[in-house]
Amino acid sequence: MSKLHLIAQGSIAELRIDNPAKLNALTMPMLEALETHCNALDRDASIRTVVVTAEGDRAFCAGADINAWSELPPADFARHWVRDGHRIFDCLARLSKPTVAAITGHAFGGGLELAAACDIRVMAPEATLALPEAGVGIIPGWSGTQRLARLLPEPVLKEMALFGRRLSADRALALGFVADVAEDAAAAASEFAKQILGTSPRATEVAKYMIHGAVGEDRGAMIEALGGGMIAASDDKAEGVAAFRAKRKPQFPGK
């Protein structure tokens, strides 16, 4: 049974990491569950927003479970562990629904990369952020050197990835990486999520696509999604489909 659960509460869904005995470290079955849940959420029109949470308050996520990858042959480590994890985190980042991460405890390595894949983040005061991979002889592999480079200043990211320094909640707030620091980070994240319910679903979806296109988050797909949505609502599209089905030449109205 996977230790990453999808819980729907009305229009708000929760993705909950449930591996507190191992500081919510991620395994491949958990990543596969995340991908399955993200695909389901993207197709569920009843869900407006998603909150990513974790059991316990010691760690939001300590990263990837070292036992899951340490014995992998180099080719499998690169081909499956890194690339599959990257693809799955991209799936979360590119959800059409707004996402909020509740960083209730420390977020290290893959845990920080998971939080970075969300649209906004709320952090507990005592939590810290880190990229400790170099200390065990590897490098960040699930967007830690790529997506995080768009969200943090280059010198700060180098402090973390090269020198192993932790980022405090207050500094993360000052840098704009987190939206709020709150004693009850999960409750604060839930309040953020509830604010979405008074907005237009289509407007928030399109705004997210436009922002992602601007910052380079799957820019090609975002541009084509925006253009596809516009043309799909046109009279020309309706006429083109009707003509195809009737096996006649289309008469496009240009509307």
Q: Is residue 114 part of a domain?
A: yes
- Shared domain for 139 and 224, answered yes or no, is no
As a whole number of angstroms, the distance between CA 97 and CA 171 comes to 28
- Shared domain for 208 and 190, answered yes or no, is no
- Shared domain for 94 and 211, answered yes or no, is no
As a whole number of angstroms, the distance between CA 123 and CA 189 comes to 9
- Shared domain for 116 and 230, answered yes or no, is no
- Shared domain for 104 and 45, answered yes or no, is yes
Query: Cα 184 to chain center, whole Å?
Result: 21
pLDDT of 1: 60
Number of domains in the chain: 2
- Shared domain for 126 and 31, answered yes or no, is yes
As a whole number of angstroms, the distance between CA 213 and CA 153 comes to 20
Last residue within a domain, chosen from 181, 197, 213:
197
Q: Is residue 67 part of a domain?
A: yes
Q: Which tokens go with 168?
A: 């405090």
Q: What are phi and psi of 226, to 5 degrees?
A: -65, -45
Q: Is residue 121 part of a domain?
A: yes
Distances (CA, A) of 233 to 45, 196, 210, 213, 229: 18, 25, 18, 21, 7
Q: What angle do CA 201, 203, 204 make, to 5 degrees?
A: 70
pTM of the model: 0.92
- Whether 113 sits among the annotated catalytic residues: the reply is yes
Q: Select which of 113, 126, 159, 205 is catalytic.
A: 113
Q: DSSP per residue over the chain, as a string?
A: --SEEEEEETTEEEEEE--GGGTT-B-HHHHHHHHHHHHHHHT-TT--EEEEEESSSSEEE--B-HHHHTTS-HHHIIIIIIHHHHHHHHHHHT-SS-EEEEE-SEEETHHHHHHHTSSEEEE-TT-EEE--GGGGT----SSTTTHHHHHS-HHHHHHHHHH---EEHHHHHHTTSSSEE-SSHHHHHHHHHHHGGGS-HHHHHHHHHHHHHHHTSSHHHHHHHHHHHHHHTSHHHHHHHHHHHHTS-------
- Shared domain for 111 and 226, answered yes or no, is no
Q: Is residue 48 part of a domain?
A: yes
Q: Is residue 252 part of a domain?
A: no
pLDDT of 81: 84
Last residue within a domain, chosen from 197, 217, 234:
197
Q: Is residue 193 part of a domain?
A: yes
- Shared domain for 168 and 236, answered yes or no, is no
- Shared domain for 217 and 173, answered yes or no, is no
User: Domain range spanning residue 213?
Assistant: 201-246
- Shared domain for 32 and 123, answered yes or no, is yes
- Check if the beta carbon of residue 182 is closer than 8 Å to that of residue 188: yes
Q: Is residue 253 part of a domain?
A: no
As a whole number of angstroms, the distance between CA 119 and CA 207 comes to 12
Q: Is residue 24 part of a domain?
A: yes
- Shared domain for 188 and 233, answered yes or no, is no
pLDDT of 124: 98
Q: Select which of 14, 55, 133, 217 is catalytic.
A: 133
- Whether 55 sits among the annotated catalytic residues: the reply is no
pLDDT of the chain, 255 residues: tens digit per residue: 679 999 998 999 999 999 999 999 999 999 999 999 999 999 999 999 999 999 998 999 999 888 888 877 888 887 788 888 899 999 999 999 999 999 999 999 999 999 999 999 999 999 999 999 999 888 898 999 999 999 999 999 999 999 999 999 999 999 999 999 999 999 999 999 999 999 999 999 999 999 999 998 888 888 888 898 888 999 989 988 999 999 999 999 988
Among residues 35, 49, 141, the alpha carbon closest in space to that of 92 is found at: 35
- Shared domain for 218 and 101, answered yes or no, is no
| CATH number of the domain encompassing residue 138 | 3.90.226.10
